[in-house]
Amino acid sequence: MHDADALLAIGAMAILTYATRAGGFLVMSMVPLSPRLEAFLRHLSGSVLVAIIFPAAVTSGPAAILAILAAVLVMHRTRNALFAMTAGIGLAALLRAWF
Amino acid sequence: MERAVITWRGMGSGARRLIAVGVYAFIFGVAFGIAARNVGMAGWAATLMSATVFAGGSQFAVLELWQSPVAWGPLLIATLAVNGRHFLLGASLYPWLRSLPAWQIYLAAVLLSEPNWARAIEAQARGERDVGVLVGGGILLWVAWVAGTVAGAGFIDLSPEHFRRFGLDLVFLAFLSCMLTGLRRGRADDLAWLAAGLTALAAMAVLPPGWHILAGAVAGGVVGVVVDARR
């Protein structure tokens, strides 16, 4: 890719990506915040995470699924994210080394 | 409700809460730099992209399209599809920071990404009012991501196989799972989250890449509101 094209492509990506970041704030600033909308947004935060994690884990294979389950379990018991992440990632590394 | 603020102290705390994730963001930045070098992207271009786009998923996605002549349609659609989820992150966080001056809100938007957003949602649930958590965490991630890109585009060499072997491809999934676990407030969440997960999985089979996250999240939000209303 030529330098000028690269610069243009990166600029376009940067602007579009910023629009996706600011767009959520902008739209919410224009609609009145009813209790029902606030409840929707509250449920949205957990649901975004599930919608990212679940399909990605399922399509990444058994080691990934077990790793995520281990991370959730350790997090549930210890409330320590670093510990839980290490457990999940370590388990994935072990499973992939063994099988 | 008490007004939201942004303090230096909050920014420091936000950065500290994401140090571990920042280390991985650096490693992913290295991976991106190497991948960019492999498709012939100049070091300055990879660095500029990481600094201004600051969204790993879309940056990796467009590497497949990095050619002459530029395939503008696919390039822009891929960017929008992969980054569309930011819209939901912003919307869900808005009630928390709406009392800030607009310039602060739209400046903070530059740094919006999953890890610092997740920490912000967690802070909100604990009743904290300092949006510095979002900003400080975002700055840390940005520095790590850009520094990683510079290193990968310049001198470090690693293969994707190394990443898989050490489970590093699962770092962000594992982190987000931990944040999700911390967010659960009770049974009402389970049904919403089940709807989100199943919808996203089903949507992945029929929608173009990226859009399944929006579909699943909206389904979960709607089910959550319905469950709330019935109790």
Q: Is there a contact between B85 and A55 if contact means CB atoms under 8 Å apart?
A: no
Kindly state the DSSP code that residue B100 receives in the 8-state scheme.
S
Instruction: Tell me how close the Cα of A86 comes to any Cα of chain B, in angstroms.
Output: 9
Q: Is B105 on the interface with A (CB under 8 A)?
A: yes
The chain A residue lying nearest B18, using CA atoms, is A82
Q: What is the average per-residue pLDDT within B184-202?
A: 92
Phi then psi for B189, rounded to 5 degrees?
-70, -35
Read off the pLDDT of residues A5-45 as tens digits, 9 standing for 90 and up. Answer: 999 999 999 999 999 999 999 999 999 989 899 899 889 98
The DSSP-derived string for B159-224 is: -HHHHHHTTGGGHHHHHHHHHHHHH--SHHHHHHHHHHHHHHHHHHHHSPTTHHHHHHHHHHHHHH
Kindly state the DSSP code that residue B3 receives in the 8-state scheme.
P
Which residues of chain B does A72 touch, with a Cβ-Cβ cutoff of 8 Å?
177-178, 180-181
Q: If DSSP codes are grouped into helix, strand and coil, which group holds residue B47?
A: helix
pTM comes to 0.86
Tokens found for residue B75: 């390039």
CB B16 within 8 A of CB B142: no
Q: What is the average per-residue pLDDT within B137-143?
A: 98
Calpha distance A2→A10 (Å, rounded): 12
CB A67 within 8 A of CB B170: yes
Read off the pLDDT of residues B16-58 as tens digits, 9 standing for 90 and up. Answer: 999 988 998 998 899 899 989 988 999 999 999 999 999 998 9
